[in-house]
Amino acid sequence: MASCNFLWFILMVASVSTVAHAKLSPNYYSSTCPKALSIVNAAVIEAIKNETRIGASLLRLHFHDCFVNGCDGSILLDDNATFVGEKTAAPNNNSVRGFNVVDDIKSKVEKACPGVVSCADILAIAARDSTVFLGGPSWTVRLGRRDSPTASRSAANTSIPPPTSNLSALVSSFSAQGLSLKDMVALSGSHTIGLARCTSFRGRIYNDSNIDATFAKSLQSRCPTSGNNDKLARLDAATPTHFDNCYYRNLLSGKGLLHSDQELFNGSSSDFLVKRYTSNPSTFFKDFAMAMVKMGNITPLTGSKGEIRVNCRKVN
Q: E strand or H helix at 279, and its extent?
A: helix 271-279
Q: What does 131-173 look like in DSSP terms, one character per residue? A: HHHTT----PPPB--BB-S---HHHHHHHSPPTT--HHHHHHH
239-251 pLDDT per residue, tens:
999 999 999 999 9
pLDDT at 53: 96
Q: Identify the CA nearest to 296 among candidates 166, 118, 133.
A: 118
234 forms beta bridges with 195
**Beta-bridge mates of residue 25:** 143
Respond yes or no: is residue 64 known to be catalytic: yes
Residue 47: how many other CB atoms lie within 10 Å: 24
Question: One of 62, 64, 242, 259 is an active-site residue; which one?
Answer: 64
> What single-letter amino acid sits at 94?
N
What are the chain's domains?
35-160 (1.10.520.10), 167-294 (1.10.420.10)
Binding-site residue positions = 65, 68, 70, 72, 74, 86, 161, 191-192, 236, 239, 244
Q: Are 254 and 265 in contact (CB under 8 A)?
A: no
Flag residues of the chain having pLDDT under 70. Answer: 1-22
Residue 135 CB contacts under 8 Å (≥ 6 apart), including other chains: 6, 7, 8, 242, 243, 244
Binding residues for Ca(2+): 65, 68, 70, 72, 74, 86, 192, 236, 239, 244
Note the pTM of the prediction, 2 decimals. Answer: 0.93
Residues 152-167: pLDDT tens digits?
999 999 999 999 999 9
Residues placed in the known binding site for substrate: 161
Residue 212: CB atoms within 10 Å: 14
